[in-house]
Chains A and B, each alone.
Chain A
Amino acid sequence: MAPVMIRLENVTKVYRLGAEDVHALRGVDLEVGSGEFVALMGPSGSGKSTLMNLIGCLDRPTSGRYWLDGQNVETMDDDNLSMYRLKHLGFVFQSFNLIPQLTVLENIELPMFYRGVPAAESRERAAALARRVGLGGRLKHRPSELSGGQCQLVAIARALANDPPVILADEPTGNLDSRTGEQIMQILEELHRDGRTIVLVTHEPDIARYAKRRIYLRDGRIEREEHAA
């Protein structure tokens, strides 16, 4: 088996809402190998997004341990977590999350900007990424001038800017029609073939089909797993 990219050990997440505790995750053990394509599935409220946020170093578990690419992450300080997000992880969100006042090119450049890549180099790479997702002619456009599918393509290009080994996609096709969704999934599949580790959250079985491994969550626990033939 390939080396382990993501390893969670008995991870829990409890949200404190006033006097009430919400147990979003109740002890998750998970290992994802480098280069795997995994789909997280399960009913609404089962904890898929919570798990994605933990994997994405946007949040810390209430208890349990988490290694990303061999590094113990849950004890890292904020700057180190930011650095991991910057270099190891690429996010694709359901609502695209592009910055509206920046152009397509500038949105794709953003992660490189935070890494301190020189302007000329980052512009060139951003343009190449835009061409790769088929938006080479839209560099100066703003997100408001693009369709939803095009926005998601920009988001994918942005996620690839710093060439991270892991792509996290939380319902990337949730706001798109099925044809555009297919297009997005084909690009994700390509990234998978490049050797990237991909974790995908989705409700749609058709979309989940692209993943070789499907993990079902229920009430904050892993219920079962399926492996594609």
Chain B
Amino acid sequence: MTFYVAIRNLQLGLKDILSHKTRSLLTTLGVVFGVGSVIAMLAVGEGASQQALEEIRKVGSRNILIIAQKSVDEESVARRYVRMSVYGLKYEDEERIRALTPAIRRIVPVRLMRRDGVLGSRRMELRVVGTTPEWFELVPRRILAGRVLQAGDLAEYARVCVLTEVGARRLLATEHVIGETIQIGPQFFEVVGVVESGAGGRAVAVPDEEVDAYVPLTTQLHVFGEINARVSAGSRDIEKVELHEILVEVAREEWVEPTAAAIETMLQYFHPKKDYKMSVPLALLRQAEQTKRTFNVVLGSIAGISLVVGGIGIMNIMLASVTERTKEIGIRRAIGARRSQIVMQFLIETMVLSGVGGLIGILAGLAIPALITRTTGMPTVVPLYSLVLSFGISVSVGLIFGLYPAIRAARLDPIEALRHE
């Protein structure tokens, strides 16, 4: 019976709301804005953090990147027109890191240089990555054609290269790339495979770039030597770097941070000039989560304030409605409605009101992120829980702020209420 009464009250509540469409809409505006802005902001936050997560996932949460960089001191060693910089990671560093802890599963040395790739009349700058086959395990990308580098390539100093999809398409402009020979710098390399291109991260440094050519580390050293020369603006930059990057994969996620700390300590000893930097995606992930948590607290406060404001708006209109409907309340009481039934009627009415506000807010909250994504390209994700949560909260706002007007209505003296005009 009570269920039936609730349903009837719901119908009557909806009826009353529909008979005052404009007023009801204005009343719920606070809740609409509250719910809408919360969902929209949560969607933006969630989108950003999922993007960061995605990028971190691409780098690998168990990986540590050690990247060579020119130290500040090194920069000043300039001799008239020729600058010779010697910096970066050493082959020995690779051995030292390998020996450091059994927590390390893989370790990949990387040498980088920029050279033009040429095929017939086509020419484009490539990032030539000299590395070992393990690169492709640490930076897993889909193999689109052919194969990746193999241990044999290194042993034989094979003149082979693996291109990324974008590079392959731009340089070769054909489907059949495997077996083609391209010129990199003064040398010729056979294309043995094509892998998916890395997107290039915004939040995190990703090891691969869009246009990479992977060659065996041994071949690269043999062909191009250890000294890298580049002519720019009349002066020659010469640098001697053994390894540009060392990628480390740790066996378990919980060992990543201690291992990173151990490597850092060790490198500090051997590289007092600090000509390297370390990037730990997992630490960035933690940081991203922390930022998100702070963001959510701020959002929660804004949401709370706007919903309280919305609730007060609803309470205000319901108090007016009680006064306006004093006579009706008197009639209902005279007929035999109990106080609790009057309370129910008004409570359900406010909950319907705030619930409808919540639904409109949800629509707005779905539309705004979609619009943001359309216009700015910023990724947004509306989490389901945010819809359920905000609808629940808006109905609760109706319940809480409707209670006082409803009790006021039920407390009216039936005779006086009947006499009210």
Identify the A interface with B (CB < 8 A).
Answer: 53, 56, 58-59, 78-79, 82-87, 89, 91, 93, 97-101, 110-111, 113-116, 118-119, 158, 162
Contacts and interface: CB of A to CB of B under 8 A. Distances in A.
A197 to B, nearest CB: 17
Interface string B1-40: 1101100100000011001000000000000000000000
Given A53-B415, A101-B15, A58 B334 contact: yes
Interface string B317-345: 00000000001101111111111110000
Contacts of A99: 328, 331-332
Given A79-B338, A110-B332, 6 more contacts: A82-B333, A82-B337, A83-B336, A97-B330, A97-B418, A114-B341
Contact of B415 (A58, A79, A86, A111): A58
A116 B341 CA distance: 11
Interface of B: 1-2, 4-5, 8, 15-16, 19, 327-328, 330-341, 414-415, 418
23 contacts: A53-B415, A56-B334, A58-B333, A58-B414, A58-B415, A79-B338, A82-B333, A82-B336, A82-B339, A85-B335, A91-B334, A97-B327, A97-B334, A99-B331, A100-B328, A101-B15, A110-B332, A111-B335, A114-B332, A116-B5, A119-B4, A119-B8, A162-B336
Contact of B8 (A82, A100, A113, A158): A113
Contact of A111 (B8, B336, B338, B340): B336
A57 B335 CA distance: 11
Contact of B335 (A53, A86, A100, A101): A86
A114 B340 CA distance: 11
B334 A101 contact: no
Given A53-B415, A97-B418, A110 B339 contact: no
The SS class assigned to the B binding surface is helix
Nearest to A162: B336
Given A53-B415, A101-B15, A101-B16, A91 B335 contact: yes
Contacts of B337: 82, 86, 114
Contact of A85 (B5, B19, B330, B336): B336
Contacts of A86: 335-337
A99 to B, nearest CB: 5
Contacts of B334: 56, 58, 85, 91, 97
A102 B19 CA distance: 11
Contacts of B331: 97-99
B316 to A, nearest CB: 21
Contacts of A101: 15-16, 19
Contact of A158 (B5, B330, B335): B335
B415 A113 contact: no
A110 B5 contact: no
A8 to B, nearest CB: 18
B8 A110 contact: no
B410 to A, nearest CB: 10
Instruction: Name the 3 nearest CB pairs between A and B, nearest first.
Output: A86-B336, A116-B1, A85-B336
A31 B414 CA distance: 25
A162 B4 CA distance: 18
A114 to B, nearest CB: 5
Contact of A116 (B4, B15, B330): B4
